[in-house]
Amino acid sequence: MNMQDNDIKAQSSARELLKVAIVGHVDHGKSTFVGRLFHDTDSLPEGKYESIVAMCEKRGVEFEYAFLMDSFQAERDQGITIDTSQIWFNTEQRDYTIIDAPGHKEFLKNMVTGAAQSDAALLMIDALEGVQEQSRRHGYLLNLLGVSQIAVVVNKMDLVDYSQARFDEIEAEYRAYLTSIGVNPTRFIPISAREGDNIVNPSDKLAWYKGLTVTEALDDFKILSADDDLPLRLPVQDVYKFDDRRIIAGTIVSGQLRIGDKITFSPSGKEAVVKNIEAWPRAYTDEEKQNLVLRAGQSVGITLTEQIFVERGDVISHVEQADADSDGALMAPHLGKEFTAKLFWLGETPFEVGKNYKMKLGTAEINVRVKQINHILDAENLGQSKGDQLLRNQLGEVVLTSRHPIVLDDYREFAKSGRFVLLEKFDIAGGGVINLDGYENTREALFAHQANITRVDHAVSLAERENYNGHKGGVLWLTGLSGAGKTTLAVSLERKLFRKGLQVYILDGDNLRHGLNNNLGFTDADRRENIRRASETAALMAQAGFVVIVSLISPFAEDREKAALTQGDGFYEIYVKADLETCESRDPKGLYKKARTGEISDFTGISSPYEAPENAALVIDTAKNSVEQGANLLLEFATERFHREFSADYSI
Amino acid sequence: MSRLDDLEAQSIYIFREAFNKIENIALLWSLGKDSNVMVWLAKKAFYGHVPFPVMHVDTEKKFKEMYEFRDRYADEWNLNFIREVCPPLEEMDDTLPPAARSAARKTVGLRDATKKHGFNGLFAGIRRDEEAIRAKERVFSPRGAEGKWDFKHQPPEFWDQYKTEFPEGTHIRIHPLLQWTELDIWNYTHREGIPIIPLYRSKNGLRYRSLGDEDITNPVKSDAYTIEEIIAELGSTKVSERSGRALDHETEDAFERLRAEGYL
């Protein structure tokens, strides 16, 4: 089957879809409106109307159109929508998902959930009650959530005798409010949901109104194009190694990407070239590859021309080009440790100055601290007050800091990569948009020292060293629990290899901590740095021609993978395996005892996890093998891997 | 991007997010059109590999064609396939109406299987347009220890950020198809050439729109045989998709009760 012909056929049959949220103050008639909209556009499934009428009779309540939407018994009983609900209908022009977002203040998190996924919103105001606190708050939040197309529907016109004066008054008041927060409402429509005026057809009772009806206004909303024209932002979601490909996966948030593009990773500053764009069920042909452009919104997988360490949370952007036109938007994201944000808080406990939160920004997770709250915003009158906490459902402008540089975009330019959520315990408890006014971009400062470094070429090549030594250099990375026997094996192997005439040296975790790493403790970050320094040192010695035996617990797969990439070829992960019980019974340094009593925290195997290698080059089970047996297995392995025939393939 | 491309990209993003953030996950394969699309999307997300088990919680009352389909594609799609059998009807709550009681076997079977394999997360192919209660679901939907859904206190979900952190004892249902409609499923099945069970095609003027257990699922009147015909038919019908599912019609809150207990 020809995939492309098939594509064209299916695309023409899949109609355009627009998602519209209905928001507004509780009791202003959202659910009634939606029920009516469905009834009047003949969109209800067969028997739905009749079954709700029958349900009302059975329960002795008067029929309401709202019941068509409120699906929980609790919602019907209380007469308020608790959770956001979705329902589908279509006009001649296109399909719609209508998202009914609750208006009750208690359920703001559900309103946010509903509204944030919409392309446009209908904001409902009760003609009798007029503009209420929630009307303003919802208007403000829609803007913050990134919903820029808003039509205001003035409902219950039947209760004010279809008065144009009342409608004009509400429009003037609310338009002034929206304009003051930077929202430009597309239109105001007077309706009566209960009577069906101006929903689908114009109403005689509202003859003074010359504008569009609700369904016409829906058809008039635009489907916003994806952010293709902005600079590229591709947050790395994961790295897959299911086969010999190393695929970097993610969803493009903005911009475009092609094979051959030169890209950079933030915050590391590493650069690479896109080698291929992966696809299933079949790979792209060479011809397709030439014209292939990945765009914003696509979930993609790419491979690179060289192996560099990339992890979830890194952000891919294009390397700055002299002729690039990015309309003033930054080609690569801003790097900094501090930023200002407009924030809405949904948490159970107050958001407070001095507290730490986990922030999810794209695919990155970062610990941030609340440095200050510039002001608390009263959505009602836009008044600002001072304070050092935001309560649930409050809005404010805050300053957040991080210990390490983070990858930031200003939301006014990058609507999607410029926003984040904060977690309180296990749940999302707030959302914010980033403002970088007044903050220095530290990107250049961070990478300036790298730019000024040029590698010195050695006068002696690696091949010469290897010929001189009579063997290849490389790294044997021994990982395993404390007490598994790494050091014992390493010492025995070092002696055996030395006896055979190899240049060999042990880098032992404990020994390194006496010198090179004596400024490091045992926090996660310090343990990572400890391993990073060990792997860089090992790689240097391997380049000098040595066989380096590294003996380090190195509990995390990711750190060992980084070490492997630092070295490249000639890196062998050796899993020194022994079950916890065995290791604990050996306890050569008395550490397990201390870990059990809590004297040592974060101890691997007891209070911190050990991720066993899945694809170790060699596994030595020290619970089953003696030291001598284990060392001999290693010796055999090392002799074979580092063996080198003399080669004349070099010149001095 | 076209509507189907958009839905596909979102679903892939959801798969990848769950795979990265949640350990011990599995995909629930009910063998119907939706879960077949789900398996297909998983293969797309991970470039041909489905890097977690695919589990069928078997009531042993499915149609013969469904079992044939399962056995063939578990193999052809190279799935890490697990089959678990539901407990007998006699062990179920006898205050439930008959069809709901029968469906409850699946809930308990699923709960037991989840416990047995230690799954923290399950991909389920439900869609918001199927049923009003499902319209209120989240993409990442936490369950209590007994698999219960606290639908009145759901966490917020916005800006493509999902609930991926949870305390011991909770687990997460992940719904990669939540945004899809029945028509989207068929358009996508057609576009991608995903195999379907023949029961969806009209035979003697009848076809199945939704497949469940043989004894509580009824066909609808239809002459649609090809996928194009099915798509055309759905464009004009006002009969709801689950109208052939007996359990949806028993009492006003039967479905709400079932879902709260952990039914899909």
Residues 6+ positions from B34 with CB-CB distance below 8 Å:
B125, B126, B127, B177, B180, B185
**Residues A208-236: b if buried by 16+ CB within 10 A, e if exposed:** ebeebbbbbbbeebeeeebbeebbbbbbb
In chain B, the number of structural domains is: 1
Active-site amino acid positions of A: 554
What 3-state DSSP class applies to B14? Answer: helix
Check pLDDT > 50 for residue B225: yes
The reply to whether A415 and A468 lie within a common domain is: no
> What's the pLDDT at A3?
39
Q: Is the peptide bond before A267 cis (omega within 30 degrees of 0)?
A: yes
Q: Are A315 and A235 in contact (CB under 8 A)?
A: yes
d(CA B157, CA B142): 12
Check pLDDT > 50 for residue B77: yes
Task: Note whether residue A329 is domain-resident.
Answer: no
* Closest CA in chain B for residue A87: B129
Give the mean pLDDT of chain A.
Answer: 86
Average the pLDDT over each of A59-73, A168-182, B16-30 and give the range with the smallest value.
A59-73
Give the pLDDT band (50/70/90) at residue A2: very low
> What's the pLDDT at A452?
61
Decide if B144 touches A, using CB distance below 8 A: no
Q: Is the peptide bond before B98 cis (omega within 30 degrees of 0)?
A: no
Task: Note whether residue B209 is domain-resident.
Answer: no
Q: Are A198 and A192 in contact (CB under 8 A)?
A: yes
Q: Are A38 and B32 in contact (CB under 8 A)?
A: no
- Residue in B47, B238, B239 nearest the CB of A247: B47
Task: Note whether residue B243 is domain-resident.
Answer: no
Task: Note whether residue A537 is domain-resident.
Answer: yes
| Burial zone of A362 (CB within 10 Å; 0-12 exposed, 13-18 middle, 19+ buried) | buried
d(CA A528, CA A532): 6
> What's the pLDDT at A6?
40
Neighbours of B56 (CB within 10 A): 22
Give the pLDDT band (50/70/90) at residue B263: low
> What's the pLDDT at B41?
98
Q: Are A300 and A250 in contact (CB under 8 A)?
A: yes
- Rounded to an integer, the average pLDDT of A473-498 is 92
Check pLDDT > 60 for residue A264: yes
Instruction: Check B159 against A9: CB less than 8 A apart.
Output: no
Decide if B132 touches A, using CB distance below 8 A: yes
- Residue in A6, A14, A71 nearest the CB of B3: A14
Task: Note whether residue A241 is domain-resident.
Answer: yes
Decide if A241 touches B, using CB distance below 8 A: no
Task: Note whether residue A449 is domain-resident.
Answer: no
Touching A: B residues 220-249, CB under 8 Å: 231, 238-240
What is the model's pTM? 0.81
Which carries the bigger pLDDT value, residue A367 or residue B93?
Answer: A367
Instruction: Check A251 against B9: CB less than 8 A apart.
Output: yes
Backbone angles phi, psi at B43, to 5 degrees: -65, -35
Task: Note whether residue B222 is domain-resident.
Answer: no
Instruction: Check A72 against B239: CB less than 8 A apart.
Output: no
Instruction: Check B158 against A242: CB less than 8 A apart.
Output: no
Q: What DSSP element (H or E) covers A273?
A: strand A271-277
Task: Note whether residue A649 is domain-resident.
Answer: no
> What's the pLDDT at A328?
59
Residue whose tokens read 């939706």? B34
Decide the pairing of beta strands B81-85 and A238-240. unpaired
What would the pLDDT profile of A214-258 be if each residue is shown by its tens digit?
Answer: 999 999 999 887 788 899 999 999 999 988 899 999 999 999 999
Count of all residues that appear for chain A in the document = 652
What would the pLDDT profile of B22-75 be if each residue is shown by its tens digit?
Answer: 999 999 999 999 999 999 999 999 999 999 999 999 999 899 999 999 999 999
Give the pLDDT band (50/70/90) at residue A325: low
Decide if B133 touches A, using CB distance below 8 A: yes
> What's the pLDDT at A451?
60
Decide if B19 touches A, using CB distance below 8 A: yes
The reply to whether A58 and A181 lie within a common domain is: yes
Instruction: Check A116 against B159: CB less than 8 A apart.
Output: yes
CATH number at residue A516: 3.40.50.300
Give the pLDDT band (50/70/90) at residue A83: low
Q: What is the largest CA-CA distance in chain B?
A: 52
d(CA A167, CA A155): 10
Check pLDDT > 60 for residue A176: yes
Nearest-CA distance from A504 to chain B in Å?
Answer: 39
Q: Which residues pair with A99 in a beta bridge?
A: A21, A86
- CA nearest to A547, candidates A649, A635, A445, A612: A635
Tokens of B61: 């009352």
> What's the pLDDT at A5?
39
Task: Note whether residue B223 is domain-resident.
Answer: no
> What's the pLDDT at A203?
92
d(CA A589, CA A568): 33
Task: Note whether residue A581 is domain-resident.
Answer: yes
Check pLDDT > 50 for residue A8: no
CATH number at residue B12: 3.40.50.620
Number of CB pairs < 8 Å for A and B?
158
* Closest CA in chain A for residue B159: A116
The reply to whether A132 and A255 lie within a common domain is: no
Check pLDDT > 80 for residue A139: yes
Task: Return the DSSP state at A29.
Answer: S
Task: Note whether residue B59 is domain-resident.
Answer: yes
Q: Are A162 and A156 in contact (CB under 8 A)?
A: no
A383, amino acid identity: G
What ipTM, to 2 d.p.? 0.92
Give the pLDDT band (50/70/90) at residue B146: low
Residue whose tokens read 């047996």? A629
Last residue of a domain, one of A220, A244, A272: A220
> What's the pLDDT at A300?
97
Residues 6+ positions from A257 with CB-CB distance below 8 Å:
A232, A234, A263, A274, A277, A293, A294, A300, A302, A316
Task: Note whether residue A502 is domain-resident.
Answer: yes
What 3-state DSSP class applies to B88? Answer: coil
The reply to whether A131 and A210 lie within a common domain is: yes
Task: Return the DSSP state at B25.
Answer: E
d(CA A36, CA A41): 8
Check pLDDT > 80 for residue A536: yes
Task: Note whether residue B228 is domain-resident.
Answer: no
Q: What is the largest CA-CA distance in chain A?
A: 103
> What's the pLDDT at A31?
79
- Rounded to an integer, the average pLDDT of A160-180 is 94
Decide if B168 touches A, using CB distance below 8 A: no
Check pLDDT > 70 for residue B264: no
Instruction: Check A251 against B13: CB less than 8 A apart.
Output: yes
The reply to whether A262 and A338 lie within a common domain is: no
The reply to whether A76 and A215 lie within a common domain is: yes
Tokens of A180: 């003051």
Touching B: A residues 211-230, CB under 8 Å: 226
Task: Note whether residue B242 is domain-resident.
Answer: no
Q: Where does residue B252 fall: left (phi above 0), alpha (psi -120 to 50 degrees), or beta otherwise?
A: alpha
Which carries the bigger pLDDT value, residue A235 or residue A651?
Answer: A235
Check pLDDT > 70 for residue B206: yes
Count of all residues that appear for chain B in the document = 264
What 3-state DSSP class applies to A618? Answer: strand
**Residues A407-425: b if buried by 16+ CB within 10 A, e if exposed:** bbbbbebbbbbbbbbbbbe
Task: Note whether residue B207 is domain-resident.
Answer: no
Q: Are A116 and B138 in contact (CB under 8 A)?
A: no
A404, amino acid identity: H
The reply to whether A375 and A307 lie within a common domain is: no
> What's the pLDDT at A40?
86
Instruction: Check B188 against A9: CB less than 8 A apart.
Output: no
Angle between the N-to-C axes of helices A3-13 and B182-192, in degrees from 0 to 180, rounded to the nearest 10: 160
Instruction: Check B1 against A249: CB less than 8 A apart.
Output: no
The reply to whether A307 and A343 lie within a common domain is: no
The reply to whether A108 and A80 lie within a common domain is: yes
The reply to whether A283 and A414 lie within a common domain is: no
Decide if B191 touches A, using CB distance below 8 A: yes
What would the pLDDT profile of A404-438 be if each residue is shown by its tens digit?
Answer: 899 999 999 999 999 999 999 889 999 999 999 99
Range of the domain at A273: 234-318
The reply to whether A311 and A416 lie within a common domain is: no
d(CA A101, CA A83): 7
Q: Which residues pair with A315 in a beta bridge?
A: A235, A266
Decide the pairing of beta strands A504-508 and A474-479. unpaired
In chain A, the number of structural domains is: 4
Whole-number percent of chain A with pLDDT over 90: 46
Range of the domain at B55: 3-180+250-260
A211, amino acid identity: G
d(CA B13, CA B174): 12
Q: What DSSP element (H or E) covers A187?
A: strand A187-190
Q: Are A206 and A157 in contact (CB under 8 A)?
A: yes
Residues 6+ positions from A167 with CB-CB distance below 8 Å:
A127, A154, A157, A160, A188, A190, A209
- Rounded to an integer, the average pLDDT of A479-500 is 91
Task: Note whether residue A448 is domain-resident.
Answer: no
The reply to whether A198 and A71 lie within a common domain is: yes
> What's the pLDDT at A449?
63
Q: Are A406 and A426 in contact (CB under 8 A)?
A: no
Check pLDDT > 90 for residue B98: no
- Rounded to an integer, the average pLDDT of B235-255 is 66
Nearest-CA distance from B60 to chain A in Å?
Answer: 32
> What's the pLDDT at A4?
39
What would the pLDDT profile of A369-383 be if each residue is shown by its tens digit?
Answer: 999 999 998 877 778
CATH number at residue A307: 2.40.30.10
Instruction: Check A72 against B133: CB less than 8 A apart.
Output: yes
Which carries the bigger pLDDT value, residue A20 or residue B143?
Answer: A20
> What's the pLDDT at A137?
87
Check pLDDT > 90 for residue B195: yes
Check pLDDT > 70 for residue A12: no
Decide if B136 touches A, using CB distance below 8 A: yes
